[in-house]
Amino acid sequence: MTKDGNILKESYILIVGGAGYIGSHANKELSKRGFNTVVFDNLVYGHRSFVKWGDFILGDLNNIEQVRLVFKKYPISAVLHFAAFAYVGESVNKPEKYYLNNVVNTLNLLQVMREFQTKYFIFSSSCAVYGIPEDIPITENYPLNPINPYGRSKLMVENIIEDYSKAYNLKYVSLRYFNAAGADMEAEIGEKHDPETHLIPLVLDAALGNRDSIEIFGTDYATHDGTCIRDYIHVTDLSTAHVLALEYLLQEGRSDIFNLGNGNGSSVKEVIDTAKKVTGKDINVINLKRREGDPARLIGDSAKAGKILGWEPVYKELESIIASALKWMMASDQK
């Protein structure tokens, strides 16, 4: 790995929230590229077993002394920040929890980065900063109008790091991604949330008999089959984008914001039908009324990431995304 042509053999990449779903996949990709990594995670939602690469430190961003200890022990050259609460519904009912963790705790991290003169920062943002779009696909210059505390917390941090960049010379990349899906193609790690709210693992659970049915919230949307359309991006492709964003920062030193999406939308019914095909199982479906705040279509434009970072999704087909998730679920059931 290089920074302005210099070898960084003795430095480390700190992955905050690296025991979680996306963070653990990013840790694997960074390790494959030869980066030294250290994961900092409180394991509230993460899994110790997912930290198969690099070092692990148990700690919480709300304890700034614990954060300082990591920077004292390791020469940190850059930080990847994944440690956010991400349940939209919960954020509406418990906004304080989300602002304390997603915003205040990020300020603790940024404070320690300043103290130790670590100036490279990759932020795990979200398409939730856009709110309900009027035009598709969504580009980075689309109006920012989040409709829930989760999305607002992400936008707050984006604004904070922009201010830090101007005042303190922080160099950052914010990655706004759409629906992370799938699992490591070698089934070493995967998606394991409690509670699980993502469509693909829920559908696969229904196919495998781990749940009785899958619920569709709304079949009367203005889409080709009446169900919501979302942009599913394979988690390994997301991880590759984080590595490219880091290399871009280390080499170019310019801050920027990028969408990360597949560019193709898949409806809820298409996800269910594809899961039936992949598993060879029937799935019991219950049709319910729409949920408040669900846009009919959410599809991202990732052309900017392709042009500047050289990023291109590899696992674009819905079938391969679902097949990787199934492979992980089957492998994890055997352990």
* Residues designated as active site: 150
**Residue 185 · residue 40 · CB < 8 Å:** no
- Which pair of tokens denotes residue 5? 């042509």
Contacts 24+ apart (CB under 8 A), 277-283: 277/319, 278/319, 278/322, 278/323, 278/326, 279/204, 279/207, 279/208, 279/326, 281/207, 281/208, 282/207, 283/203, 283/206, 283/207, 283/213, 283/214
Helix (H) or strand (E) holding 124: strand 120-126
Alpha-carbon distances of 214 from 28, 63, 285, rounded to whole Å: 32, 40, 5
Q: Which helix (H) or strand (E) holds 332?
A: helix 318-333
297: its two tokens: 């279509």
Other beta carbons less than 10 A from residue 180's beta carbon: 23
